[in-house]
């Protein structure tokens, strides 16, 4: 079979990224090992009430990947396959953490295939240490005073502090320095 000549490969990694976590970063790294460019595409979803605005999420991702031109960030609304086709991506990347992700992801991948069979969805598994990390959990843990520094890049921790203020750590005396 003759190989098709292709230009540099581009994969779209869609999501809410509210905020980006080390689990997402892990998937981007894996994507870069396979594709020339990975474009993180933030879904503008008017139904969800996000913590960080779309503009804030774009700024955070730009900061995380400053100086790394192979990682791009963009926003989209409407059908993902339409967006992927418009930017010339033949691949959608999704991260698979656990069985719980599987059913929804499977449905989405097959629906997207039906909408445009030329666009392939590729699933990547994060390192086990990130398999329980989600943006939702990070926000909850931070708000309750738990440590999230191993779960998110430093810029996200800083932004969380700006949003929520410094969380109150339970079980510590307010006056005592440790
Ligand atoms: P969505 O609202 O589309 O689920 P998310 O920002 O939560 O957006 O996730 C975007 C993608 O990243 C999804 O494919 C999700 O499964 C994946 N993902 C989220 N957290 C992790 C993680 N800890 N490890 C691997 N993949 C993840």
DSSP for 107-142 reads HHHHHHHHH-TTSEEEEEPPPGGGTT--HHHHHHHH
Split at pLDDT 50, 70, 90, the class of 178 is: very low
Higher-scoring residue by pLDDT: 34, 173? 34
CA quadruple 67, 155, 12, 47: dihedral sign: negative
Percentage of residues in the chain having pLDDT higher than 90: 83
Residue whose C-alpha is closest to residue 149's, from 43, 5, 4, 21? 21
* Burial annotation 130-151 (CB, 10 A radius, 16+ → b, else e): beebebeebbebbeeeeebeeb
Task: Tell me if 70 sits within 8 A of 36, measured CB to CB.
Answer: yes
- Find the angle CA(171)-CA(176)-CA(178) to the nearest 5 degrees: 85
CA of 25 to the centre of ligand 1 (A): 10
pTM: 0.91
Phi-psi label, residue 88: left if phi above 0, alpha if psi -120 to 50, beta otherwise: left
pLDDT for residue 14:
98
Phi-psi label, residue 78: left if phi above 0, alpha if psi -120 to 50, beta otherwise: left
Mutation test residue for ligand 1: of 45, 95, 96, the one with most atoms within 8 Å of CB: 95
The SS3 call for residue 154 is helix
Widest pairwise Cα distance in the chain: 73
Split at pLDDT 50, 70, 90, the class of 176 is: very low
Active-site annotation, residues: 24, 48, 97, 135
Q: How many other C-beta atoms are found inside a 10 Å radius of the C-beta of residue 73?
A: 20
Across 84-104, average pLDDT: 94
pLDDT higher than threshold 80 for residue 115: yes
> What is the side-by-side order of every strand in the sheet holding 120-124?
71-76, 37-43, 10-15, 91-95, 120-124
Split at pLDDT 50, 70, 90, the class of 1 is: low
Split at pLDDT 50, 70, 90, the class of 165 is: confident
CA of 113 to the centre of ligand 1 (A): 19
What is the chain's mean pLDDT, rounded? 91
The protein residue whose alpha carbon is closest to atom 8 in ligand 1 is 15
pLDDT higher than threshold 90 for residue 46: no
């Amino acid at each position: 079979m003759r190989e098709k000549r292709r230009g540099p490969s581009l994969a779209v990694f869609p999501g809410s990224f509210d905020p980006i976590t080390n689990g997402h970063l892990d998937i981007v790294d894996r994507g870069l090992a396979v594709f020339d460019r990975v474009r993180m595409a933030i879904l503008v979803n008017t139904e969800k009430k996000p913590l960080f605005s779309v503009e804030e999420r774009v700024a955070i991702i730009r900061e995380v990947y400053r100086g790394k031109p192979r990682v791009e960030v963009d926003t989209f609304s409407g059908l993902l396959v339409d967006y992927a086709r418009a930017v010339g991506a033949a691949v959608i990347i999704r991260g698979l953490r656990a069985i719980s992700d599987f059913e929804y992801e499977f449905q989405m991948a097959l629906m997207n295939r039906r909408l445009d069979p030329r666009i392939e969805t590729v699933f990547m598994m994060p390192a086990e240490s990130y398999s329980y990390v989600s943006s939702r959990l990070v926000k909850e843990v931070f708000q309750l005073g738990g440590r999230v520094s191993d779960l998110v890049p430093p810029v996200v921790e800083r932004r969380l502090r700006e949003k929520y203020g410094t969380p109150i750590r339970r079980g510590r005396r307010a006056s005592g320095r440790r």
